[in-house]
Amino acid sequence: MRRFQHYIDGEFSDGEACYSSIDPASGTVWAEMPEAREGDVDRAVNAADKALYEGAWPKMTATQRGKLLYKLADLVAANAQVLAELETRDTGKIIRETSAQIAYVAEYYRYYAGIADKIEGAYLPIDKPDMDVWLRREPTGVVAMVVPWNSQLFLSAVKIGPALAAGCTMVVKASEDGPAPLLEFARLVHEAGFPAGVVNIITGFGASCGAALGRHPKIAHVAFTGGPETARHVVRNSAENLASTSLELGGKSPFIVFADADLESAANAQVAGIFAATGQSCVAGSRLIVERSVKDKFVALLRDKAEAIRIGAPLDMATEVGPLATKRQQDNIGVLVAKSIESGARLVTGGRKIDGDGYYFPPTILDCDDVASPSLIEEFFGPVLSVVSFETEAEALRLANDTRYGLASGVFTQNLTRAHRLMKGLRAGIVWVNTYRVVSPIAPFGGFGLSGHGREGGMAAALDYTRTKTIWLRTSDDPIPDPFVMR
């Protein structure tokens, strides 16, 4: 059995406790994970706080920080396959996806390596003749980063990269579900040569680890990716230390298909948007909103593609859909599908968990006449697509915006003016037109509403990990007059 450790203050160590990690493909224990509790959290935060103000890190130039990030990027690229296999083993995400995604994660570290010495202050043309005034951008402080199990190396890179470029130090909490690749990533941080305490990586449960981390008095910012309910706890905890927060939360993303769209292309994008990663993606296009005149044709096309998907062992390169990450998620999706069918949704394909070892659930399509169906409202976080139709563009936009979430959206049409109208009208942080689920380190992403606030990716993310300091310099040699002498 594989045994993992925390990475705190430049050293690998066991936690105050430990727990077993389950292989989702077999439902059996495969590794032992360290469990951080309040003492481990305190040790990690204190190490990050010390590294922020003492030792080599605060003395480094921005260019030197960038060189360390370049080295880390090269190590991620060189070890992508090892990390991919660990993520597949611990989360059930298929190897063909983890391999490609982690190889691209290196580009995020390269992007922020280049940005490190491009974070600029400003000289202010102040309205006083004998004053020079500058704005300096300085690291915001010690950052708590809470990362979920799905796409964790990507979702940590969009936090770690910009925070390091800005000069912050951090404590990264990997999800208690499937933390292996992030704990292994710590070895690359160590090998890259980051000073002790700059990056600390731990794992543990919400009540005993996450809460202690978020409310720690030395935490200046909390960067969280997860669900809205946990985010509410994060925000409440931040009242203890008045830490700022950035929240990248869930989604119930609309995928709008007009009759004039290239239906084959749209169907392929829809399959990728909802069934890739077994639907366990915050940007999953889980609500298909399709023009009524082509609905039956398009749903039949999707059904054929869904039923042709190869479900199997996640470490097999031929597998297209693997297991869900946890048993509770498999059970929860089954309950939500059943409730949707009871409320009137018609099952097109799938709908029942696959018997046997592992936490498998087949690609599922539900045709929903009632917009109040649970499948159109709740985030399943699984391979379940809900379908509703429309007659007019205005109706499509209304249906798309009829959600508490606002992370991603997709529009498929050949009508350019219509596409521009929908770009403006959709209440979502991302709008993909005639494509879906595309990312780049250059482009920020984030949501509206229950999908959170703040942005990850791009220069904006690096600036979010800084705070401004205003510096006044009096340039006159004349003495400052006595303020109490009347003239």
Residues 373 and 384: their CA atoms lie apart, in Å, by 13
**CB-side neighbour CA atoms (13 Å) of 23:** 16
Residues 449 and 404: their CA atoms lie apart, in Å, by 6
Residues 399 and 431: their CA atoms lie apart, in Å, by 15
Residue 296 CB neighbours (<10 A) = 12
**CB-side neighbour CA atoms (13 Å) of 272:** 13
- In the annotation, is 248 catalytic? yes
Residues 294 and 354: their CA atoms lie apart, in Å, by 31
Sign of CA dihedral 405, 251, 286, 415: positive
The residue type at 156? S
- Judged by DSSP in three states, 83 sits in helix
The residue type at 479? P
Residues 291 and 302: their CA atoms lie apart, in Å, by 15
Helices 62-78/180-192 angle, 10° precision: 130
Task: Please give the C-alpha separations between residue 437 and each of 255, 274, 409, 462, in angstroms, as whole numbers.
Answer: 11, 10, 9, 23
CA angle, corner 325, sides to 319 and 330, nearest 5? 100
- Nearest CA to 306 out of 351, 370, 256 is that of 351
Beta partners for 144?
171, 222
H or E element at residue 467: strand 466-474
**Radius of gyration, CA atoms only, the chain:** 24
Task: Please give the C-alpha separations between residue 406 and each of 85, 185, 224, 318, 473, in angstroms, as whole numbers.
Answer: 32, 31, 17, 34, 45
Burial class of 225 by CB neighbour count within 10 A (0 to 12, 13 to 18, 19+): buried
Q: Which of 35, 248, 320, 456 is catalytic?
A: 248
Residues 247 and 165: their CA atoms lie apart, in Å, by 20
**CB-side neighbour CA atoms (13 Å) of 129:** 2
Backbone angles phi, psi at 435, to 5 degrees: -160, 175
DSSP 123: E
Q: Which residues does the annotation mark as catalytic?
A: 248
